[in-house]
Amino acid sequence: MVKYCLSMLILVFILSQLSWASEKKSTSPSKQKPKTGITVHKAHLLIEPENQSELGELIEANSKVTILSRKRAWYNISSSSNSSGWLNMLNVRFTAAEKREGDLGIGSLFSSVTKSTLPTVSTGVRGFDDVDLANAQANFQQVELLSSYSVSSTEAKAFAQQGQLKIKAITVKPQEQ
Amino acid sequence: MKQLFTVLLISCSLIACQSTGLKIGNFDVGKLIDQGVKVFDANNIDQDQEIQLGQNMSAVLLGTRPLYQDQALNLYVNKVGMWLASNSARADLPWHFGIINSSSINAFAAPGGYVFITSGMLRQLENEAQLAAVLAHEITHVVQQHHLNAIKEDALRGALTETLFVSADAYQGNTQASNKQKQYSQWAKQITGAAQVLYAKGLNRDDEFQADKLGLRLLARSGYDPFAYVDNLQVLAAISADDSSLALLYKTHPTPNNRLQALSTEINKISSVEGKLLANRFTQAVAK
pLDDT for B22 equals 43
**pLDDT single digits (tens) B65-114:** 999 999 999 999 999 999 999 999 999 999 999 999 998 899 999 999 99
Q: Judge contact between B140 and B214, C-beta under 8 A.
A: yes
CA–CA separation, A149 and B72 (whole Å)? 9
From the list B125, B230, B260, the residue facing A105 with the nearest CB is B125
Q: Which residues contact B266 (CB under 8 A, 6 or more apart)?
A: B212, B213, B216, B217
pLDDT for A34 equals 73
B186: number of Cβ within 10 Å: 14
Predicted-complex ipTM score: 0.80
Report the Cα A71 to chain-centroid distance in Å. Answer: 11
pLDDT for B11 equals 39
- Helix, strand or coil, per DSSP, at residue B226: coil
- From chain B, the residues in CB contact with A25 under 8 A are 274, 276
Q: What's the burial of A124, exposed, middle or buried (CB within 10 Å: 0-12/13-18/19+)?
A: exposed
pLDDT for B170 equals 64
Mean pLDDT of the B243-270 span: 79
**pLDDT single digits (tens) B131-152:** 999 999 999 999 999 988 887 7
Q: Which of B62, B101, B214, B286 to mutate to test the interface with A (most CBs of A within 10 A)?
A: B62
When the pLDDT of each residue in chain B is averaged and rounded to a whole number, the result is 78
Cβ contacts from A onto B, under 8 A: 264
pLDDT for A157 equals 98
Q: What angle do CA A94, A95, A99 make, to 5 degrees?
A: 110
Q: Which of A25, A76, A100 to mutate to test the interface with B (most CBs of B within 10 A)?
A: A100
Q: Which residues of chain A have pLDDT under 50?
A: 16, 18-29, 99-124, 173-177
B132: number of Cβ within 10 Å: 33
User: Band of the pLDDT at B256, cuts 50, 70, 90?
Assistant: confident
**pLDDT single digits (tens) B40-76:** 455 667 788 788 888 888 988 998 899 999 999 999 9
